[in-house]
Structures are given as C-alpha cells and as structure tokens.
Amino acid sequence: MLLQKWVLKDLKSSLLNCKNTLSISKIHAVLITSGISNNGALAAQLIASYARTGDVNIAQKLFDDLPKRGIDSWNALLIAYSRGNSPPEVINLYRKMSLAGIRPDSSSFTVAIKACTSLLDLKSGREIWKHAVECGYGSDIFVGSSVLNLFVKCGEMDEAMSVFDGMSRRDVVSWSTVIAGLVRSGRAGEAMDEYRRMQREGLEGDGVVMLALIQACADVEDLKMACSVHGCIVRRGFPVDVMVQTSLLDMYAKNGKVEIASCIFRTMSCRNVVSWSALISGYARNGHAGVALELLVEMQSCGFEPDSVSLVSALLACSHVGFSRLGREIHGFVVRRYELDRVVGTALIDMYAKCGSLSHAQALFERMSSRDVVLWNTIIASYGIHGQGKKALLIFHRMIKARARPDHVTFASLLSAMSHSGLVEEGQYWFDAMIKDYKIQPMEKHYVSLIDLLARGGRVEEARRLIEDVECELGIAAWVALLSGCINHKKFLIGEMAAKKVLELKPDCPGIYTLVSNFFAAARKWDEVAMVRRVMKTAGMKKVPGYSVAEVDGRLHAFLVEDKSHPLYEEILKILEDMEHRMRALGYVSKTEFVLQNVKEEVKVRMLRNHSERLAIAFGILKTRPGTRLLITKNLRVCGDCHEAIKFMSIVAEREIVVRDAKRFHHFKNGSCSCSDYW
C-alpha cells in the first residue's frame, strides 16, 4: 500500500515535468500496464498534461474512456479546453458536468465564467454565477474575480460593484479590474473614490491602476489628483514606458496644462503615432490651433504617418481658426491614403461647416454610407450655427425616419439651432417632445438652450420664470443667457437682476464680467461699470481683446481691435475710409450706442471703424481679386453697428462676406445678412 502511494506520487511528479506528448505517452503506458490508469487523481493529471502540450483530443478521449469521472477529471478537461482557447466547449462541458450531477468547485466556476467573458456571453455568465452563489462560492476570491471581470468587460458596472462589495477578500487584481472598468464606463469620479478606498484598506495600486487613474484624471479634469498620481508613479518607481508617458501627456493636456504635456513629449526617448496624436489633440482642444497644425507638419517630417486621431485633431484646429485651405488639404490626404470612416467624416463635416462651407458639409454628409447619431448631431449643429433652424429641423425629421434614435446631444443641437433662427414655438414644442416622447430628462444645457431661445426672442419674463421654476438649481450659464437677451432687447429691469445674480455666482471667465459691464454700460450705469472693472482688476482678470482672422491666399492674418501694427495699416485705413464714404451715401449711419464707453461722439465713430472684423475685411479686399468671397473669423460676438456696416460693405465691395463670430455665422450679400437681423 505504501509502495503504491509512493509510485502514484512519483508518477504525478513525473507528469508535471513532462514537456512533450512522447514523455506523457510513456508514463501513460506504464499506468495502463500497471493497472492503475483509472485512478481518478492520475487520470486528471494525465488529462491536464496532454492539454498542456496542446493535445486536447487525446485528453478528451482519455476523459471519455474513464469508467468514473470525479471533479478532478472534469476540471482537468475544462482547463484543457480553456487553454486551447475553446470557450464554447468549456461552457458546453460545464453544462454536461452539471447534468451529470457533479457539484462544481471554485476551479469549475472560475474557468467556466472566464469562457463566458471571452465570448462576452453575459446571459450564460449570469447563470453560472447564480449557480456558484447557490453552491456557497459567492464570496470566493477566484470566482468573484472572474465574474467581476465578466461584468466589467460587458459594461455592467452596477453588477460588478455588487459582486466586488460582496467579496470576502479583495486583492490588487480585483481592485484594478473595478477601477479600470469604472474609468472605461465614464465613471472616472467613482474610480478615484475606489482608489482612495483601496488605499484605506492598506493596498497600493499596480501599473494597471495607475494607468486607469491617469485616464480618470484626464476625464474629470482634476489637476490636483493628476499631479498626485504622477508623483506616486515617480516615487514608487513604476516603469515609465511610452504608454505611460503618452497617458501622462494626454492627462495634462486635458487639464489645460499643454506646456507640461509638451515637456513630457520632448523628453520621451521613444515616440509613436499615439504620442504625437495625443499632443496634437491636446493643443487643438486647448485653443492652440496654430501649434497643433505645426505639430502635424513636424510629425510627418519625422517620418510618422498621421492616424485618424491626429487627423481629427488637426481638423478640429482648422475648425477653431477657420483655416479652410488646410482643412481641404487634409480631406485630400484622407481620400488618397485611407477609406473615409465615420469618425474622420464627421470631423470633416464639422470643419467645413465651421469654415463657412456649409454646402461642402452637406454634400459630404449625403455621401456618407453609414450614419450614426454623432454624424446626425454634427450636421444638425452645422445648420444651427449658420442660422438655418428650419433646415436643422428637416434633418432631424430625416434622422427619425432613418430610425436613428436621438440623444441628449441631438436635442441640445436642435434647440440651439432654433434659438439662432427665432423658432420659439417650435423650440418649446420639441423641448416638451424630448421629455414626453423620447423619455430624455432635460439636463442643464437643455434648459439653458430653452432660456436662450426665449430671451433671444424677447420673452425675457418667461425665461426668468423658467429659471425660477426649474426644480434643479441652474448654474451661471442660464443667467448669462437671460442677461444676453435683456441686453439685446433693452430689458434693463430684469437685466439688472440677472447681472447681479451673475456677479453673486463669481464667474471665473473674463468674458462674463465683460458682458455684465456691457449691460451696465448699455443701461448708462457708469458707477456699476466701474465696480465690475474693479472686481476684474482685483481678481487679476483682463478684458478679452477682440480679434479677427482673415484667410487670404492660404494663410491666416490676424487683426486686433484698433490694430495699427500691421505693415499695411495705412492702406487698410484708406480702404475703410473710402468704403465708409460710399456707405454713407447709401444710407449707412454709425450706431454709436454700441460703443459702451463714455467718450465723445466722433471718438465713438473712429472706434467703430477700427473694430477688428472691419480691419480684416479691408485687408481681404486689398489682397484678393474683385468678387472673391471673404471669410472672417472673430473671437467675440459681432456688434450691432459692425453687423449693419458689413451689410453695406457687401454692396460697395460687390462681394459675399462671411463672418463667423463667437455664436454663429453671418453671410452678408447684396446688403442683407442670412440671419435676417436676428442673432
């Protein structure tokens, strides 16, 4: 008896050390000749050994020939199919095992659930997990970790968290799975909370956790946490490879620290397309369009072919500055090198629309063979910024007919389009339909769009009541929308209340303080104007200077308000003076009430003439052939006098002049504007 135990132990050890099928076959032959081949433990070891060398068929035959199969044999074959990357066979074998009346153990459940994860078979995974709980393995760390991974991979984070909280013991792997899963599911804030809970339980994250936290900091734009995570990586000596460095630079860029992102990029010993794309994207998102485009050129000079991310980022940069020529060149590059997919196609449509070529955007949209909700939303928004609310609504109806389900972004874009077109009743109707028919609960941006719709249409009292009646407390954007409407329609009583509310909320944007100052100036409350300026000075804020950019001969030319630094300033001024003389003969009269400063009338006239958009238009007239369409991009909203003046300019210059301001597009032609003086 003792001798047989010793032999069995020795044979098991020999099987574990076998490296090929021939060695296993020799031991198998010994077992058969000695009459102990049907020993359960040895049979299981034989099955596992054959599987380890890739001979699953022999393992299956050996299993089939066993007169009696214990849990060890079943588990051995389950593992054999799992190692052979045959998840359907694993699940089928698990079900046969249950039907045979064999009670699965921790290994059985773990391997079976792993197979479900490979197939993303959530239904089977839930059934096996339910069986595991019934068998008393609900708190088992191995079974729990496998089902945790299943729920995370399938995006079922609520179920994953329920399993995680019920585990009797949690290791670093399970914490990593949960934290990474929360980040991938867009729940970055919760991911960081779980990391803090992990630390309180005395565990430190591994590299997977650190990468997930970097992504979380990028998603929630938490700069303090970002610096803390970066410091932890440095202190604990984690390997900093190209993946980690790229993630870090992306994290800093998304937190607005493009200088730090650039510093990390420049110190990288090994760069790839992803790292280049992350930096280009960072600069584009943070408004540094020129740098983003320069990086795209530098990337190609270093021998890297732009990928879809870098191309989309470059198109975003073109959209920001209105650089249509480079946008068209990128379009040509894409057509020559790649098959146009939805992502790049959507970016191109957005670029054409924001560079004033709505017809090109529409033509490209019509050529897209596959359309998702993002593509539909983009074309709706494109019509909106060009003031074509009725066409935006027609596109929305086409979207519904195509059975594409609108989301919260769709309605935000649609409401904005209607706001820019004065479609107040239609906007109210679709706001209600969003809630009743599409079961989409309004977010703050929807309320802000509706308030803007009402206030822009002169119904400021309704807009004020809406702010007060909404159950959730609306932020500063709602009051800014109300205040803008009050300025446009000279509703000074409600406007003063809105202005004071805006100041109470202590905005961190200089542009909002400027809006409040402009309101008080329009109301001739000069003491309040001085007060706002003192607040800005105390906070270290400066008024954002107005500037305009003209695209001429494939180059961008920028002009500041009253910019006398341009080498052609005297010629530009001469064109403006000549045009103004001819404009006045046609009936143009300066609207000096739009100069919100307490200065003399003739000074106001001169100041209006030197607004940045007029300088850019005059430069375009000076440097282009007669009849050339001009595209001007301005960082602020065009003032009422400039809007009126450019209508006259389009007559005397005999040109179409397209002006894109901070809110929308204005197409001036033959003395009229596409907005019909509603903006």
Q: How many Cα atoms within 13 Å fall on the side-chain side of residue 367?
A: 13
CA distances from 554 to 324, 326, 327, 557, 633 (A): 8, 8, 11, 10, 14
As a whole-number percent, the residues of the chain with pLDDT over 90 amount to: 49
CB-CB contact of 659 with 371 (8 Å): no
Three-state DSSP class for 565?
coil
Beta-bridge partners for 187: none
Mean pLDDT to the nearest integer, 68-88: 86
Q: What is the pLDDT of residue 2?
A: 35
Q: What is the pLDDT of residue 34?
A: 53
Q: What is the pLDDT of residue 228?
A: 85
Judged against a pLDDT cut of 60, whether residue 10 lies above it is answered with no
Per-residue pLDDT band at 71 (split at 50, 70, 90): confident
Judged against a pLDDT cut of 90, whether residue 461 lies above it is answered with yes
Q: DSSP for 115-141?
A: HHHHHT-HHHHHHHHHHHHHTT-TT-H
CB-CB contact of 280 with 314 (8 Å): yes
Q: What is the pLDDT of residue 673?
A: 92
CA distances from 205 to 233, 342, 627 (A): 10, 37, 64
CA distances from 168 to 112, 114, 140, 160, 643 (A): 21, 20, 7, 15, 69
Q: For residues 136 and 122, what is the distance between their CA atoms, to the nearest angstrom?
A: 21
Judged against a pLDDT cut of 70, whether residue 33 lies above it is answered with no
CB-CB contact of 516 with 509 (8 Å): no
Phi-psi region of 587 (alpha: psi -120 to 50; beta: other; left: phi over 0): left
Q: What is the pLDDT of residue 574?
A: 94
Judged against a pLDDT cut of 60, whether residue 475 lies above it is answered with yes
Nearest to 423 by CA among 378, 393, 383: 393
Per-residue pLDDT band at 4 (split at 50, 70, 90): very low
Strand 657-660 to 665-669 pairing: antiparallel
Three-state DSSP class for 107?
helix
Mean pLDDT to the nearest integer, 645-652: 95
Among 304-308, 349-353, 506-510, the range of highest mean pLDDT: 349-353
For residue range 593-616, what is the model confidence (pLDDT) as tens digits? 777 676 788 888 888 888 999 999
Q: Quick count: other Cβ atoms within 10 Å of Cβ 289? A: 24
Per-residue pLDDT band at 7 (split at 50, 70, 90): very low
Q: What is the pLDDT of residue 438?
A: 93
Q: What is the pLDDT of residue 3?
A: 35
Per-residue pLDDT band at 6 (split at 50, 70, 90): very low
Judged against a pLDDT cut of 60, whether residue 634 lies above it is answered with yes
Tokens of 187: 């729940």
What is the residue whose two structure tokens read 């006398």?
564
Q: What is the pLDDT of residue 607?
A: 85
Q: What is the pLDDT of residue 117?
A: 95
Q: How far apart are the first and last CA of the chain?
A: 98
The letter for the amino acid at 374 is V
CA distances from 255 to 263, 341, 503 (A): 15, 29, 26
Q: What is the pLDDT of residue 25?
A: 57
For residue range 181-216, what is the model confidence (pLDDT) as tens digits? 999 888 888 998 998 899 898 888 888 888 888 988
Tokens of 670: 């033959």
Q: Give Cα 20 to chain centroid, integer Å.
A: 51
Q: For residues 139 and 116, what is the distance between their CA atoms, to the nearest angstrom?
A: 19
Q: For residues 115 and 60, what is the distance between their CA atoms, to the nearest angstrom?
A: 18
Judged against a pLDDT cut of 60, whether residue 5 lies above it is answered with no
For residue range 229-278, what is the model confidence (pLDDT) as tens digits? 898 888 888 878 888 899 999 999 988 899 999 999 999 988 999 999 99
Nearest to 630 by CA among 666, 672, 658, 670: 658
Q: What is the pLDDT of residue 29?
A: 55
Q: For residues 438 and 601, what is the distance between their CA atoms, to the nearest angstrom?
A: 54
188-194 long-range Cβ contacts below 8 angstroms, 24+ apart: 188/215, 188/216, 188/217, 188/219, 188/220, 189/216, 189/220, 191/216, 192/216, 192/217, 192/220, 192/222, 192/225
Mean pLDDT to the nearest integer, 618-632: 93
Mean pLDDT to the nearest integer, 141-164: 93
Mean pLDDT to the nearest integer, 513-521: 87
For residue range 391-440, what is the model confidence (pLDDT) as tens digits? 999 999 999 999 999 999 999 999 999 998 889 999 999 999 999 999 99
Q: What is the pLDDT of residue 596?
A: 62
Mean pLDDT to the nearest integer, 641-660: 94
Q: For residues 587 and 582, what is the distance between their CA atoms, to the nearest angstrom?
A: 9
What is the residue whose two structure tokens read 């977010």?
443
- For the ranges 21-35, 219-233, 321-335, 381-395, the lowest mean pLDDT is seen at 21-35
As a whole-number percent, the residues of the chain with pLDDT over 70 amount to: 92
For residue range 525-552, what is the model confidence (pLDDT) as tens digits? 989 988 988 888 888 877 778 889 898 8
**Beta-sheet strand order (sheet of 657-660):** 555-560, 547-552, 630-634, 657-660, 665-669, 672-673
CB-CB contact of 418 with 393 (8 Å): yes
Beta-bridge partners for 631: 658
567-575 long-range Cβ contacts below 8 angstroms, 24+ apart: 568/619, 568/622, 571/622, 572/615, 572/618, 572/619, 572/622, 573/618, 575/618, 575/621, 575/622
